[in-house]
Every structure is written in structure tokens, then in C-alpha cells.
Structure 1
Amino acid sequence: MSHNILLTGASGYLGGDLLAELASTDLPEYGKLFALIRSSEQADAVKQLGAEPLTLDVYNEDAVREAVLSHEITVVLFLINAVSSASQKLFIKALGELKKKTGSDVHFLHTTGAKMFSSHSGAPTDHKLSDNDPELFAVQKAQRAPLMRFQEALDTNNTIIELSEASQVKSYIFAPCIVYGKGRGFGNPISIQTVAIVQAAKALRRVYRTDAGAPIWPVSHIADNTNLYVQILRTILIGQDPGHGKLGYYLASSGSVPWNDIYNAFGKALAQRGVIDDATVQDADDEILQKMADALNCPKDFVAPQLGGTCTFVAEHGRKIGWKPTREAEDILVTAENEELRAQIHPESPQPRNTDVPWQPAPTSNDHQDAAEEKILEEIDWFAHTRTSDTPIWIGEISDAAFATRFRQFASSSQTPSHIPRTQFASDDDLRLLVTTNPAWPTPPRARLLVQTALKFLRCSYHVVRRSEILSALNTFCLDPSNAGASPIMKSKMWALFALGELRSSKCLSSSKRLPGLAYFAVASDTVRMINERPQLDVIETTLILTLYSLEANRRHSACTLVGSAMRLATVMGLHLNIGDTYLADPELREHRIRVWWSVYILDRLLSSKIGLPLLISDEDISVDLPSNSPALTSEDFGDHSHFLAIVRLAKIAGNISRSLYVRTPQRGTFLQRVARIREELDHWKGELPDQVKADFSRTDETEDHSQSAISRLKVSFNQLFILATRPALLFCFRRQVDEAAAASRENPLPDAAREAAEACVSAARQSCQLLLRSWVNGEFHTFDYSYVQHLFSAAVILAIASTLGQDTSKNDREEFEIVTGFLQQLEENGNPAAMEFYAHIKEIQIVLEAWRSTPCQPNALPISQGLGSTEVFQRAMANPPLEVPVLHNTQLGTQSADGSPLNLSFLDDWIYDNAFQQICWQE
């Protein structure tokens, strides 16, 4: 039976060069060559190289089985994921089934990385480690990697060998080392794995080494690496056994090079090109390592695996089957200094990923984009690659970080926004590790403190649990420390409450520099991972508590996933529908169901307004009653009805903002008309407040009345939605100002409606800053309060823009911005993860503002109406800030810009970051 071959990763650096070689080299006869693809462009490219395109979900067992059996694929060259074994196991099982069906030999070649045979993965480094060592499998089995992702990749190697042996599949473990040289594929042509040295050096203006002594690492030119792949395949096609299974390890390397030589070569070349200030290589201390981590957008523990380590792995197996390298190891120093170093500093082609780093996925078939996609693409959503996801992560324009990036882009006249990735959150690896630590159940006094603190926080804006039930369960737990009779979900709920309580009762990070409550959170999360076929309210309640902790911990994507799970569970239970007393006689339980539903709804809408994800359920699909104020409800379990109802209605407006202003689907009316409708909704919301709440909402005194805390939070949330609705107009006005400065003229006036919306946005931001700073003074601004930090950052960016507009108030706005910056810095130093993220943006904004002020010819002042035009008015507003929401009485005014084109979100140009920003790690 003739062999049919499947190549995965053909658009990547290694796979692309391999496909090009297979198209040109003389191989023994075989059947068909299939190449895994994901687009029509890739299909055309692989056809030109003699391969038949194949599309399938490599993580779908049925799809993999069907592809292997129907095409009778007997050789799989797997080059797309070095860490997880999920897809590999499916292919091996399918190959095993084909073996039973046909009796033909079947082969699976897995591409791992040299780091699996290095100090980073616990491999011996005090002697030579040969890829032809018959005991290498035992060595790998005994290795214990210090980092979980490396251990996972090690386990994948071992699993492939063991499963293949059990399935009668011949397996091969191929380990690329540092591969250099220009590839010939249609995808990534350059993938020097020392790219991290350049990236870190550019950020720190110096090359640093991460290891003491003289560590070495194997290297290979891309041609030699590809030739070993081909030689293994050639041996298989002629019916010989090159060595498989536990004797099937392969390294393509012409020798090893000391890291110090690589550092020195790069230091010299970078200094000559003016990229760094000094060619001298220095040792990195702990502080420098953190700065390098920031530059590389990775945890500090992963800096050394990118920039050093010791690997004594040597290539001997390939030579046994006729392979021989054509380049000397030292060739990397010359090549890196010239062709590839220039490509990294001034990339003309997509920047590669380091395929030898376990926390960064191997290249997949979507690695390459045409050069046309390197420029701005109108009406295309914004994506950025992450090091922990197989596909790019979508960036919503509604998010505060995205808006800050847009401002910096326009202020610096940059064609591509240099977005700052979010890396400041507890990592998945930390959580997995904490699950295994089994934290002790807190003592009864501490347990009561944590639970009381958590309940107080939950009562502020949500209804998640019934206080009486929780306190009763807590007493039971305290009486029986072994918790022998408690249900797993109730234990999980208690762990979640402990986590939230410890976070909210702490003022700084723990002694281990972790977020307070993280160990409790990890245990609670692990307990609720199993999906119940019969959903329970307890599960929804626990999931909501975990959602809130995730948000406070700046794990926004986790929070969105958790609330999505809670929403689906709630709809399965019918919480979005009314249930009569025939089905549920207890009126308090019915009301509890209603309020839990609306808490899920609130979190869905508010998270959408923070991140931009689509709403999980339409308002038209919800028929359940609003929360009741029945006097029969016990006050202990059911909090302030009017306050909760106000938050529900505010959440509905948040959903409308996401759905009408930050979407690509056609909407009725112009953008400014839709903004006007949102402002009318906000004004109507304020008019519907109960008289007492309305009176409190309108108070402007600065007394330290702690009963005003809930109202203050309501005001800031209201202002945030107002800012979300109007800040695109402010950005439009700012961009128009920049464009006019470049043209040295003002031929077309700004639309009145756009200018008025911009003024209102600035006014709301000023008030939010005052409210938040007052909360700080009053002791109501908690160290780990995500929402307050987010609102503070959002308002600060608006003030930064306002400070550039050349108004009488601009100086005051600049000073207010600096005050807010100081508070964010304090929160960052105290360990607030969100503050760490947002303060990084603030520092970049400060640089932009400084450059802006030093520009000799700044843009002309933006004409702003007299209402906000004087310092006196500004100071009076700050001393006694009213909450006024300007309403457009003439929504037709200014609905088009002066040049006749509609004013909509098209001026917020969007990008696809597939290659140009591949080293940006958008970990959110």
C-alpha cells in the first residue's frame, strides 16, 4: 500500500520550508501529499506546491478519524502544537484503526522542542545527552520541569510514545533547536528563535544575560532542519525503520553555541544600528528580569526560557540514517547579525513566533497574512495574538485600554497603535498549583470574618445568596470542622466566599506576593468545573461569586466565561421566566430566583460594556418580573429594592450602548443620533429614581457621610456609561484637531452635536474623578476594587485628551490627570492587578502628552462652548459638581461632518494583528 502523507502547520516557518522541500526534492514513490489549511488562500498556496489541501478540526475526534480513514493517511507530520497532546492522541488512535483495517505500517511524527531536553525541563546538563541514547525515554520520564507548561510538553512527548506503541503506530519525536535562516514557505519566512533577545534589548536599550557561567544551546540552519525531516520520511518510504518509539528521538543540529557568543554578537550589531546604547552585555538582576518580562509580555519565570538555559542535547541519530548538516554552528552568529537581525528591527515580513517556548503555541496554519493586511483595514475587527491561545484574541473598541491606545495613536500620528497587552493577572499555572496545596479551612472566627466581609460586598450591587442560609451553613461548618456531611457545591460556595472575603478585607498582597484569597478561589473553581446535568441555584450562586472574584483579580476573560456559564444555567432553569406559586409556593424563594437572575443579567451587561463581548441574551427573551419590594420579604436576605432596581435599569442601558454604538451591523440613524438616544435613556433613568434616591443622587456636598457610599458608586457607574456613549465623539474632535494642525488650516467647522457631546464627556469624567478621589479620602476606595480602578482610569484618559484641547480648563484637566495618575501608581504599588495594567497605559500617555507639549506648533484650540470655557466655571464645578446630563433636543443637528460624510465609528479604524504585532501578547 502506497503511503499517503498529511502535513500540518504548512503555513508556519518549519512546516512551510518542509512543504517547499517536498515539492522540489526527489523522494521514493508515494501516494498523495495532503496539507492542513484554514483558508482559500492557503489552499491555493499548497496546491502550487503539489499538495492537496485538507480542512478539518484537529480537535474533533470524528473529523480526524474520517480524514485519516477516508484518505488512507499513513504518515502524519505534526508541526502545530508542542504542548498539548489532545490532537495528537486523536491522530494516533485513527492511525491505529487504519493499521488494523489495512495491515499497513502507520507513522506519526511529533514536533517538540529542544527545551524539553534542557535545564528548563529538568534534563541532565552535566554531560552530553544524545538523541540516539537508548535510555532517553527513561530520562524523559524521570524529568520534572520546574514550570507546569514545560511539564505538560514533556508529558505530551511521553504520551505520544506510549499511546503509539499501544496502538501499533510508529512514532517519532522531532526536536528543533534554535533554527535560523530564511524559509522558503508561503507563510513565515523568518523565525530566528533568538528574537526575544532583540525584543528585550530594544525595550531596555541593552542586552542582558539571564544565566551565570557559560551555558550552551544547539543550533541549526533551516535547511539542515528540513533535511532531517525529509531524511526520516525518505527512510520510511523505502520501507526501512529509522528508529521509532522509545528509540525514535531526532535533533537537527550542527553543534552548540555558547549563549555568551550570541549575546555579544547581538549586542554589537544592535549597538551599531543604534537600537541599544551600549554593546556591553550585563547580567540581569531580579528588577531587570521583571522589566524584561514586561518587554516580552510574559511572566517573569518565562524570561530565562526564552533567553538562555543549558541544553547539552546533541544530534547523532540523524547521522545514523544518512543525514548530515551543511552549515557550521557558528554560522548563526554571522547570519543573525545580518539578514535576520535587520528583519527583526525593521520587519518587512511577518514576525515569527518562538516555536520552542511551551507557553507560546507552535505556528498554526493561520500564521501568514498577505502584505496587504499589514496596513489599516477598514471595517475589520481588531485582533491581537497571544502566547497562550491558538488563535488571535479579539479586542473590543469599547474597552478602556483600547480607547487609550487609540488616543495615543492619534496623538502620535502613528498608523498602527502600539497596544499594551494585559499580563497583570494571576496565571492559570499559579491556580493549578494552588489547587494542589489544599489550603486549610479557616478557624471559626476567621471564617466568620471572611464570610461577613464577602456578604457586605455582594450586598452593594447584587443579590447572589441569602444571608440567613449562608450564616446557618457557616455555623454548621464551624461545629463540624471536617465538613463530613456538607455537599461539594456548598463547600465550594464557602471557599468562594472565603476568597472574596479575604480579598476585600486585605489592603495589600499576601506574604507570598499573591492576590489575597487566591488559594481559596483556586479550590472553589476546581470544584465547580464539572457541569451538572440538573443545574442548581447553588451552582449559579457559586459561579457568580467566582465571577466577581475573577473580575477583581483582573481575569476578565475568566469572568466573562463564568458569567456565560451562569447565564446558560439560569436559562436552563427558567430563571428568565416567571414561575407561579403552583410550582414554587415559597414567595421568598421565588424572589430569590428573580434577584439571582437579575444579578446574572447585570454582570452580563456590565462586562459587555467593559470588554465589548456580545450580550448573552436579548431583552426580548426575558419575561421575568423585576425585583419586588414586598413587605413580606425579610430585610436580612433581601437588600434595598430601589437601589438594586436602579442598577438593573442601568445595566440595561449598558447593554444598549454595547449593542447600538459599538457594533458593525447596520443601525438605524447616524452615530450621533444613537448617542442622543442613549443620553435620553440615561436622563430618563435618572428621572425614574425614587424620590429619596433621586435626592441623594443630586447631593453635591462633600460631607463624609458613609451612607452616600452606595449612591457614589451609582453616580460613578452612571458617569462611566455616559463616557462610553460620548467618548468616540471626543476622540473624533481630537483627531479633527490633529488633522487640521497638519493642514495648518480650519476650513470646515466641527459639527455642533459632536462638539457638544465631547464637552459633556469631559464634564462627566471630571465629576467621576472628584467622586472617586473623595471616596479615596473617605476610605471607601478599596485597594482591590476593580470597578473603581477602571472608572478612575477611564476618566483619566478623558482628562488627558481634554488637557490637549487648548482651552482655559486644559491646565486644570492636566493637573487633575496628574493627581489621578498618582493614585493609580499607589494602587499599582499595592498590588492591584487592574491598576498595574492601567498604569502601564498611563505612563505611555504621559510620554505622549510630554511630546505633545514640546511640539513647537501645537494644533489650534478646539472651539468649545462657553459653558465649560472658563477656569472659574471649571473650579466651581469641581467644588460642587452637579450631575447634569446634556440632552440633545435637536438630534438632526450635526449628524454629518462638515465634509458631508456620516459621523460614525468608521473613523475608529480597525486592524488585524496577525503578523505585524505577533509579539504583542494580548493575554485577556
Structure 2
Amino acid sequence: MSLLPDQSGLSAEPIHAIQSLVLAALYFQSVDMRVAAFHHIGQAMRICLVEGIHRHMPEHIVGADHSRRCNTVFWVVYILDREFGALMGVPHSLPDEDITVKLPSQLDGSIDAMNMALHVQLSGLTARIFTTVYGSGGGSDGSLIPNTQSILRDLARLSQDLTDFFRTHFQGSVSRASRMAQRLMISYHHCVVLTTRPLVMCALQMHVENADAQTPETIPLTPPVRSLLQSCVDSAQTELRMMRALADEDLLDSFLPFQLEAAFSSAFVLYLLRVISPSLLQDDAWCNNIQHVLDKMITDGSLVAPLRKVELSQLEHVMAALTPEKCKPPPSVSGDSRSMPADLDCSLSDDILNNPFWDIFVTDGVTGLLPQELMELADRLDVDFLPDSH
């Protein structure tokens, strides 16, 4: 922080002030100072509004370089504002309809511009998930199911956009070596986990109410809800497998907060579902993956990963009390196990696994459910599964 310029001297240089605030916000978020991070990115967004950077700046008026610079700066602020606001559970202050600045992909057909545009869509979707499905933007009584349906349709459309992007720029497959593609897919699967997590919590409530039952699956699940929970499991496991691959290649973003948050959220729902409905999980390879990822982040100097590891250990201990003895899963094992789940929609052959450039999965496997299947689930989702209290 001492390397950043003094904010009081940047009033005459609004772009520099915004960039400095963004760096400060990112640092605070990385050391788990979420309130400070939210304040700083909020201040950066307000400078954008004052300077009109949220509006399109025509090149023939302000110059090509300044127009492009303002475009890039605004979308970086937008992405972080949406992400940090979602982590705080607060609604965003700038509605999307008030933004007229063009997406990077509308100015430039390069792969970097398209990558940025997809991250803009993902961060916007993350914000909508928290303001609708989680009700942080208003009352949520009775609105969980319709809001979930709406987000599922958005996910289906975004899944198609990602698939088209990968097919165009990655020759139909996503290489292990492509951090750009890995980050996009991790962010997408994180959205799937966030969307379905309220259903997991509803299932947990029902499981707690039936804690005396002695069967592996103690609660009834309608087919659409079971499919959604399975999609949650698949996306969570995919995130952890991908981050395990990044860790093995020493490519994890260990200091930055995004992959740690995705890993923690994925492990959180998997620990719950392993107790609530064990049949949804084919094996416990994800336990090794989360341990490996967290240990790698801790080794790399992450200040937050040790806390997240302790929190997951406490969660596992709490959930053990809700599990019948004969149904208890084996304990988590830390170490360098490289086992992979065997039952995957886009499973990897031995030949591919032995290849140093093996693919994580083909682009048709961006999500466990195809776009049309997500659309069908949204249409079929009903409220019979849910407890009376939302």
C-alpha cells in the first residue's frame, strides 16, 4: 500500500486516481479486508460516474487512446464493483441500464477484448444472482423459484457464449495451459454453484428436520431439483479439479481472492451435499483437491487460505454430527493424491491424462448441463421441494 500514490494528490488526474483506488481495493480484498475493499472500489466507481466514464466516449471527440483507456478502466471497475458487492451481499449502485459505454468486444475483435467482455457478463450475472436469488436487492418472500429460473436462463445463454468463444479461439478444446480459458470456466461454474446454493440450504434445513432418519438419502427430491443439485455438485467438483490442475502447474492466483473464494464456495456445498444426499457424489476425490489447492495457496503465502481451511474443517465437524454412523463418509485426506473422479460427463481417457497437454474437457462440457437442458430445468422447476419458510 505504501507504493501507491497519495489519493489526495490525484484529484487532477481522475484516471490515475481510479487506477490507484482499484489497486488498493484489490489488495484489501486479497487480505480479507472486505469492507475497506468495498469502500475503495465504490469510490473508484463514483469517480467514473463524475467523469462520465460510464458513458461511451467517441474517439473522434476525445481521441482513440483516451477513449480506449477509459473503456478499459471502467470495465475493470465494473467487474470488481460487482464481484466485491456480491461478496458483501449488497446491491450495486449503478444499474446496467445506465451504462452506455461499449463492451470491449464491440470495439475490438481480439481474443483479449472478447475475454474481457465475457468477464463483464460473468460479474454482472454474479451481481444479479445475489440481488435476486439471495434477495439482497429487495424482499425475497416467495421469489426464490422464479428468480432461480431467471438466472438459469441467463446461465444457459452465457454457456452458449462461452462455448462459441472456446470453439472459435481454442480449436474446440480448452488446453490445460490456457489460464484465460481456465479463469472463464472457473467463474462460470462458480455462478452455477452460487445459483443453486440456496436449494442446498433448503435441503439442509429438511435434512436437519429429519436428522433421526437412518438412510443415506433422507429427503425427497423432485427430478428438477435433483438435477439442479447434481449440476451444483458437478460444477463444484469441476472447479476444484481445474484449480488442482493449476496448482500442479504452479499457476494458481494464490494471493488474489477470486480462485480462493471459488474453491471455498465449491467445497462448502460439497461438504453439505455429501451429508444431505450422498448419492449425488460419486467419490471423495474433491476432498483431496480442495486440501491440495488450499495447501498450495498457503505455501505460496496466501493470508486468507489458512482461515478458509480452518472454516472448512469446522464445517466438516459440524456436519458429522448430522450424519448417521453407517452413512458417514470417510474423513478428508490431505496430501498429494492425484485421483480423478471416474464418472464424468466429459471424462478423460488414459491417453489424454498421460499427455502433458491434456485437455480439461471439450467445450461441450462447459457445464454439466447443456444450455437447452438448463432452459428445460428452469421451465420444470417447482416449489414442492421447498420448506414453508424461504
- 1:538 is aligned with what amino acid? H
- Contact 1:730–1:755 (Cα < 8 Å) also in 2: no
Match of 2:383 among 891, 896, 900: 896
Q: Which residue of 2 aligns with 1:679?
A: 152
Give, as a single letter, the amino acid of the residue that structure 1 aligns with 2:316.
Q
Say whether residues 1:573 and 2:60 are aligned partners: no
Q: Flag the 1:663–1:809 CA change in 2: closer, same or farther, 3 A.
A: closer
**Which residue pairs with 2:104 in the alignment?**
627
Distance (Å, rounded) in 1 between the aligned partners of 2:347 and 2:209: 31
Which residue identity is paired with 1:673? P
Segment drifting more, 615-624 vs 574-583: 574-583
Which residue matches 1:715?
Answer: 185
- 2:186/2:262 contact within 8 Å kept: yes
In 1, Cα distance between the equivalents of 2:87 and 2:386?
33
TM-aligned CA deviation for residue 824 of structure 1: 1.2
- List, as ranges, runs of 4+ consecutive aligned residues in structure 1 with deviation greater than 6 Å: 743-748
Asked if residue 750 in structure 1 is aligned to residue 221 in structure 2, the reply is yes
Aligned to 2:267: 796
Contact between 2:208 and 2:322, CA under 8 Å: does it hold in 1? Answer: no
What code does the residue aligned with 1:731 have?
Answer: M
2:232 alignment partner in structure 1: 761
Structure 2 spans left out of the alignment, 5+ residues: 329-340, 350-359
- Give me the whole-angstrom Cα distance separating, in 2, the residues matched to 1:587 and 1:690: 31
Residues 744 and 893 of structure 1, relative CA distance in 2, 3 Å threshold = farther
Structure 1: segments with no counterpart, 5+ residues = 1-520, 860-870, 908-924
Relative to structure 1, is the Cα distance of residues 750 and 778 closer, same or farther in structure 2, using a 3 angstrom cutoff?
Answer: same
Matched with 1:831 is: 301
Distance change in 2, residues 1:698/1:839 (3 Å): farther
The 5 A counterparts of 1:403-418 are: none
Query: Displacement of 1:851 after TM fit?
Result: 4.2
Please give the alpha-carbon distance, in whole angstroms, between the structure 2 residues aligned to 1:797 and 1:890.
24
Aligned to 1:528: 7
Of Structure 1 and Structure 2, the greater strand share is in 1
Structure 1 residues 616 and 589: CA distance shift in structure 2, 3 A: same
Q: Give 1:836 deviation, angstroms.
A: 2.1
What residue in structure 2 maps to residue 587 of structure 1?
64
> What is the Cα deviation at residue 799 of structure 1?
2.1
Equivalenced residues, count: 359
| Pair 1:726–1:529, CA change in 2 (3 A) | farther
Tell me how far 1:686 sits from its aligned partner.
2.8
Larger Rg over CA atoms: 1
Structure 1 position 822, deviation (Å): 3.8
Pair 1:628–1:588, CA change in 2 (3 A): farther
Partners of 1:606 and 1:812 lie apart in 2 by 31
Alignment of 1:41-52 (within 5 A): none
Counterpart contact for 1:741–1:858, Cα < 8 Å: no
1:812 alignment partner AA: D
| Residue 856 in structure 1 maps to residue 325 in structure 2 | yes
1:576 maps to a residue whose letter is H
Report the Cα distance in structure 1 between the residues aligned to 2:257 and 2:248, rounded to whole angstroms: 18
Counterpart of 1:775 (choices 229, 240, 246) is 246
SS of structure 2 residue aligned to 1:873: coil
The CA distance in 1 between the partners of 2:162 and 2:385, in whole Å, is 39
Q: Give the Cα separation in 2 of the matches to 1:747 and 1:541.
A: 52
Q: In structure 2, how many angstroms separate the alpha carbons of the residues matched to 1:698 and 1:800? A: 36
Residue in structure 2 matched with residue 739 of structure 1 by the alignment: 209
Do structure 1's residue 841 and structure 2's residue 311 form an aligned pair? yes
C-alpha deviation, 1:844, in angstroms: 0.7
Q: Which amino acid aligns with 2:33?
A: R
Confirm whether residue 549 of structure 1 aligns to residue 27 of structure 2: yes
Q: What is the letter of the counterpart of residue 559 of structure 1?
A: A
> Are the structure 2 counterparts of residues 872 and 692 from structure 1 closer, same or farther at C-alpha, using a change threshold of 3 Å?
closer
Preserved contact between residue 82 and residue 127 of structure 2 (Cα < 8 Å): yes
Compared with structure 1, are the counterparts of its residues 874 and 801 closer, same or farther at alpha carbon in structure 2 (3 Å cutoff)?
A: farther
Q: CA deviation at 1:725?
A: 0.7
CA pair 808-630 structure 1, distance change in 2 beyond 3 A = closer
Does the CA contact (< 8 Å) of 2:134 and 2:198 recur in 1? no
1:660 paired residue number: 132
| Conservation of the 8 A alpha-carbon contact between 1:733 and 1:754 | no
Query: Kindly tell me: are residues 577 and 830 of structure 1, through their superposed partners in 2, closer, same or farther at Cα, counting changes over 3 Å?
Result: closer
1:61-100 equivalent positions in 2, closer than 5 A: none
* Structure with more relative contact order (C-alpha pairs < 8 Å, separation 6 or more): 2
Question: How far is 1:581 from its partner?
Answer: 4.9
Give the residue type in structure 1 aligned to 2:226: R
* C-alpha spacing 1:900/1:540, structure 2 compared with 1 (3 Å): closer
Using the size of structure 1 for normalisation, the TM-score is 0.36
- How far apart are 1:747 and its partner, in Å? 10
Equivalent positions of 1:884-923 (< 5 A) are: 884=367, 885=369, 886-889=373-376, 891=378, 893-897=380-384, 901=388, 906-907=389-390
CA contact (8 A) 1:661 1:675 kept: yes
The structure with the greater share of residues assigned to helix is 2
Structure 1 position 553, deviation (Å): 2.6
Residues 407-432 of structure 1: CA distance to partner in whole angstroms, max 9, x if unpaired? Answer: xxxxxxxxxxxxxxxxxxxxxxxxxx
CA distance in 1, matches of 2:238, 2:171: 12
- CA shift, 1:849, in A, is 4.6
Residue of structure 2 aligned with 1:883, choices 338, 361, 366: 366
Q: Is the 8 A contact 2:104 2:117 kept in 1?
A: yes
Per-residue CA distance 1:61-102 (angstroms, 9 max, x = gap)? xxxxxxxxxxxxxxxxxxxxxxxxxxxxxxxxxxxxxxxxxx
Q: Percent identity?
A: 19
CA deviation profile, 1:766-789 (whole Å, cap 9, x unmatched): 111111111111221143232112
Asked if structure 2 preserves the Cα contact closer than 8 Å seen for 1:748 and 1:898, the reply is no
1:599 corresponds, among 76, 84, 94, to: 76
Question: Hey, what's the Cα distance between the residues in 1 that align with 2:276 and 2:386?
Answer: 22
Tell me the residue number matched to 1:329.
none
